[in-house]
């Protein structure tokens, strides 16, 4: 069940109305857990067993970590991490590593036909395993008490708005909210719905429209002109932003309607003046997860320049691998890491107080860099990515067709401008006046319907 589907709209309406009709928090938690199970099972029903398995392991691991001290405490934490990472390794990375081993043997002139796992990647596996690991690590650090109520803990992992594509939450933020009964709040409902509508607009009107261009240029690279390929790359940058941040807006909005505040995941990353700043604004819940649970435990920047660079490289390589079992993601992560190491080492990167035109230029340069790195992220393999980049710089001719008409191209540019301006100058979603809220709602519904591109596209980050 994707957010941009009729099924979700009906599901959301039923669950939310029912949620506010229940008079106890216990009833609400059960309702949300059952709804979340249905939501997850609507993708591939059987995969709930994998999710259920990790929930049970982490629930009991939380107790055991809390109860023990010293080596035993650490042992239970490590076992819990092994269970979660093991699930990721088997279901997400097994075939990738196996493929590489087979290839390596072929290069050596030997055959090693190891059997591949014939199953699709469980939806959102990387998101909910990371959220589960966050819980056990926080319990281990003593910053979070082990949750006694299994239903509450299961809902912490499975809360449907953020189950399959984040934000990757922390137990300290979500668990207390799940346990507290909060009365119906019209202001929260308005803010949540307005945010959801903005998320839908970014997904179905902007991201899926830009996807037609990106799909065309990345699918027809050899015959496309350099200009067409460049437009495709730039449009993909905005597509992935509108797709993922649109998903986050819907997730945060849906939770807000039910009086639950989730962490922000994006803060206008394409207005960043450098790559370091970009990573403090893009997919914040993941970058802060790596910061708190990998970078700082490795020593962060406390153990000298060389160690800091190694730590940054490790974090970005892991970040690339987190996104997918493909060399394109690993190279994408590695290059981001390389640029963070090179540019943050330069003291100019973090210097503030420059003239406006210099800052504007830095934003443009940073966006260009990020866009070129997205080419690795979007391409099916490294060869295609390099070919795409090479053909942009070759300034060759070819077809300028980008999958949409000139009118729609100009319309797409206007939509990007509207989106950027709206998020820069009117970032909030709360509308105090009821009449203005109703007008906004009507306008956004009509805009989403008449200008939406309904092609049942899944959100890009569902695959992770």
Q: In the Cβ-directed half-sphere of 459, how many Cα atoms lie within 13 Å?
A: 30
Cβ(461)–Cβ(243) below 8 Å: yes
Shorter beta-carbon distance to other proteins: residue 169 or 215: 215
Which tokens hold the place of 174? 């979500």
Provide the 8-state DSSP code for 147: P
Name the residue nearer to other proteins (CB basis): 21 or 302.
21
323 is catalytic: yes
- Residue linked to tokens 């934003």: 363
Q: How far apart are CA 96 and CA 98, in angstroms?
A: 5
At its nearest, how many Å lie between other proteins and the CB of residue 236?
Answer: 16
- Our CA angle for 254, 324, 46, nearest 5°, is 60
Nearer to other proteins, 122 or 333 (CB): 122
The residue (of 269 and 403) whose beta carbon lies closer to other proteins is 403
Residues forming beta bridges with residue 224, ordered by sequence position? 399
Token readout for 145 is: 């008490």
- The least CB distance from residue 104 to other proteins, in Å, is 21
Nearest approach in angstroms of CB 449 to other proteins is 7
Cβ 41 to other proteins shortest distance, Å? 6
| Nearest-angstrom CA–CA distance, 169 and 4 | 22
Catalytic residue chosen out of the listed positions 128, 323, 336, 429: 323
User: Residue 392 CB: number of other CB atoms within 10 A?
Assistant: 22
Q: Which residues bind other proteins (CB under 8 A)?
A: 5-7, 10-11, 13-14, 17-18, 20-21, 41-42, 45, 215, 219-220, 404-405, 407-408, 411, 449-450, 454-456
User: Taking the CB of residue 291, how many other CB atoms lie within 10 A of it?
Assistant: 16
For the chain, helix (H) and strand (E) counts, in that order, are 19, 0
Residue whose CB is less far from other proteins, 340 or 460:
460
Shortest Å, Cβ 215 to other proteins:
8
- Residue among 349, 311, 352, 317 at smallest CA distance from 331: 317
Point out the residues that are catalytic: 323
């Amino acid at each position: 069940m994707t957010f941009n589907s009729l099924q979700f709209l009906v599901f959301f309406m039923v669950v939310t109305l029912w949620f506010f009709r229940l008079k106890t928090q216990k009833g609400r938690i059960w309702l949300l857990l059952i709804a979340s199970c249905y939501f997850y099972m609507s993708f591939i029903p059987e995969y709930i067993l994998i999710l259920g398995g990790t929930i049970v392991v982490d629930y009991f691991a939380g107790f055991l970590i809390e109860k023990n001290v010293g080596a035993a405490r650490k042992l239970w934490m490590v076992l819990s991490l092994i269970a979660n990472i093991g699930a990721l390794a088997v279901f997400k990375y097994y075939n990738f590593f196996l493929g590489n081993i087979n290839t390596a043997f072929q290069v050596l002139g030997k055959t090693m036909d190891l059997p591949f796992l014939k199953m699709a990647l469980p939806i959102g596996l990387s998101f909910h395993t990371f959220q589960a690991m966050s819980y056990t690590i926080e319990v281990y650090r003593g910053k979070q008490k082990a949750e006694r109520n299994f239903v509450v803990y299961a809902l912490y992992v499975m809360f449907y708005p953020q189950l399959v594509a984040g934000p990757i939450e922390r137990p300290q933020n979500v668990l207390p909210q799940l346990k507290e009964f909060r009365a119906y709040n019209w202001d929260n409902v308005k803010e949540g719905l307005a945010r959801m509508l903005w998320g839908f607009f970014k997904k179905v009107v902007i991201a899926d429209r830009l996807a037609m261009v990106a799909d065309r240029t990345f699918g027809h690279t050899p015959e496309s002109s350099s200009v067409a390929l460049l437009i495709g790359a730039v449009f993909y940058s905005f597509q992935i932003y509108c797709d993922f941040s649109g998903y986050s807006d819907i997730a945060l909005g849906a939770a807000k309607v039910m009086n639950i505040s989730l962490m922000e995941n994006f803060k206008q990353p394409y207005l960043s003046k450098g790559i370091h700043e970009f990573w403090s604004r893009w997919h914040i819940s993941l970058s802060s997860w790596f910061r708190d649970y990998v970078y700082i435990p490795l020593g962060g920047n406390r153990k000298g320049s060389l160690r800091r660079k190694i730590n940054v490289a490790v974090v970005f390589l892991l970040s690339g691998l987190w996104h997918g079992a493909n060399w394109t993601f690993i190279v994408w992560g590695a290059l981001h890491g390389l640029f963070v190491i090179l540019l943050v080492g330069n003291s100019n990167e973090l210097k503030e107080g420059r003239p406006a035109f210099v800052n504007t230029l830095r934003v443009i340069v940073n966006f260009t860099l990020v866009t070129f790195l997205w080419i690795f992220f979007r391409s099916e393999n490294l060869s295609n990515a390099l070919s795409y980049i090479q053909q942009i710089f070759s300034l060759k001719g070819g077809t300028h067709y980008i999958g949409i008409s000139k009118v729609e191209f100009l319309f797409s540019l206007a939509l990007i401008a509207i989106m950027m301006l709206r998020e820069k100058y009117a970032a909030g979603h709360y509308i105090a006046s009821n009449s203005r809220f109703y007008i906004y709602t009507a306008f956004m519904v009509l805009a989403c319907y008449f200008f939406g591109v309904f092609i049942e596209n899944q959100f890009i980050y569902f695959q992770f």
